[in-house]
Amino acid sequence: MSTITRTWKVNGKPIKVRAPAGRRLLDYLRDDLGLIGAKEGCGEGECGACTVLIDNEPMVSCIVPVGQLADGTEILTIEGVEKKRAGRLLQQAYLECGAVQCGFCIPGMIISSYALLPKNPKPPTQAIRPPLSGNLCRCTG
């Protein structure tokens, strides 16, 4: 085991990280920081329920070892996204469209949607599919 110390920004707040280098980011967020919005569906990178933004890019936190995230890394989880205007609008839109059933996949879905908007502010349906294709919903199939 090797222990790392790092300084990151998580949801805008500076955080001092001390953890085993191989700890999964998902575990660090949920168990050490209490940010339980990111969910563990598969633990193997397939389902997208654990998606968070790392330096603005969506990544699956269940297969990222914390040691690989350098000082200064910015992480945004659903708890941070829901405080942003675009995040709130997305949550509302998901509700109004009846997109939510059990809700387990939704934090990941919203993060991937949120990441798409700066690149493509008014995406047509066809442009939404590829960036959301790494998020699986068990309820809708």
By the 8 A CB rule, do 9 and 75 touch? Answer: yes
In the list 12, 18, 21, 72, the residue contacting other proteins (rule: CB under 8 A) is 21
- Residue 31 found at the interface with ligand FES (CB under 6 A): no
Q: Map residue 3 onto helix, strand or coil.
A: strand
- Residue 123 found at the interface with other proteins (CB under 8 A): no
**Nearest-approach distance from CB 7 to ligand FES, in angstroms:** 25
Residues 6-45 that bind ligand FAD (CB under 6 A): 45
CA-closest candidate to residue 60, choices 25, 90, 86, 89: 25
- How do strand 74-76 and strand 3-10 relate by DSSP bridges? parallel
- Residue 48 found at the interface with ligand FES (CB under 6 A): yes
DSSP string, 89-120: HHHHHHHHTT--SS-TTHHHHHHHHHHHHHH-
Residues 64-123 that bind ligand FES (CB under 6 A): 100-105
Residues of this chain that bind other proteins (CB under 8 A): 1-2, 4, 20-24, 27, 43-46, 48, 51, 54, 57-60, 62-65, 67-68, 70, 112, 130-131, 133-136
